[in-house]
Amino acid sequence: MKRRTWILGSAGVITTAFAKADQTMIQEMGIDFKWGVANAAFQVEGAANEGGRSMTIWDDFTKNSSNIKDGSNAQVATDFYHKYTEDVKLASSLGFKQFRFSISWARLMQPGMKELNTEGVAFYHNLIETIINEGMQPWVTLYHWDLPSELQKFGGWSNRKIIDYFEIYVENCVQLFGSNVKKWFIANEPAAFVSLGYLSGYHAPGKKSPFGFLRAVHYVLLSVAAACRKIKSHQPDAMVGMAYSCSPVEGAEIKDFLAAKRIDVLLNRLFVEPHLGLGYPFEDLPALKRLEQYIEPGDMDSIKCTFDFVGIQYYFRVVVKKSRLIPFFGGREIPASKRGVIMNSMGREIYPKGLLDCLKRFHEYGFKDLVVSENGVCFRDELVDGKVNDEKRIGFFKNHLEVLRSAKQQGIPVSGYFVWSLTDNFEWSEGFSERFGLVYVDYSTQKRILKDSAKWWQSALKGG
């Protein structure tokens, strides 16, 4: 196992012309290739005050409407709590055989976080049974950013006590649902929820503390490894993995290389390499050395963990320019809007080749089974005469699936692809202003309407 110290990406550009991606290309990926859709509890469930659910850090964060682009909240979201049967049937009707969702820690456990909430248990049992009855396989994410408020009272992920609480929660999940769930993502995008939540404050819990961030890094890594061991102790045949965000990082010029390398540590290496036994990449981001004060004897052995699969979540690449004004990193991102590239509605570059770069990197780390656990694009979709023409999203998928096929042809062990997302939903600090779904949601009525991209997937997967 070798440490990766180079920077992802190249000067190559994927043509903007739509690559051919139809039923034939889907079939070329193989009969065992897993095609799925994904969502996350806080973004879709709603029912914030129903079924015994307690408060989360995102409920607290959205109380201040200025934290959210459109001032909205997810008290109702897309009402998945009540409409899950409809949504699962929609996914099945489109031809998907894998359904990824997350369990809300605050819904499953009572406020003290040590006893079960029976209504929450019943909801997830029913959801899992519905998925299976529709001929799909459930993939469960144990933590997708919605930490219970009760645990944030003592610092959340920045307090070492979180490890024990997370073990209790994970043990309950595997004991309750392990007979029907064989695929577990322990956590979703730790680089995102730790840096955005504890360093920049852009996401819940809205903290801006370099030392809180460093503590959270270490305790999340320890929690994940502990959870992996806990699952395997109760369910030896379970397939356990992580969902990592991945963004190719490039310097705008040769002189920007070192700044790009430091930012690459934060975005792509920090939460992967310690699990592989490579330790923290202190040499490439010296500011991390302050983390050593939180490392206790035995921690670096406890952090080591072997995953059965790894999820790659790819949306955009990052181009960096050095800047002495930026502490720790010495560089800043150059917005896509200033680079003359094709963008989504959040101003992020659409760069299909980056998916191949990410898959290559994780393959070279030595992981034997990779899935693209999230890939999708946001546009400002409009409902016109009862229809949503999202031709640009179809183009996005065609281009990315062409890259996916290339990865498989090159021998990269990629075995699945999950669309983000099945329906439009609450997009964290962007609120409802951004739409990623294959299915349009009229938030005033909760009516579901298939976009043209959903119909394209249906044709590609089902052949008609």
Q: For 59-75, give the DSSP string.
A: HHHHTSGGGSTTS---S
CA distances from 215 to 139, 243, 266, 295, 362 (A): 29, 21, 14, 9, 25
Active site residues per annotation? 189, 374
For 99, the token pair is: 């359904």
For 460, the token pair is: 């590609």
Q: Beta strand 249-251 with 183-188: parallel, antiparallel or unpaired?
A: unpaired
**Helix, strand, coil share (%) of the chain residues, nearest 5:** 40, 15, 45
Query: CB-hemisphere CA count at 13 Å for 144?
Result: 25
| Start-to-end CA span in the chain (Å) | 45
Peptide bond into 205 cis (omega under 30): yes
- CB atoms under 10 Å from CB of 92, counted, come to 18
Distance CA 287, CA 203 (A): 22
Helix axes 80-93, 118-133, angle to 10 degrees: 10
Distance CA 343, CA 428 (A): 19
Candidates 321, 396, 411; CA nearest to 359 is 411
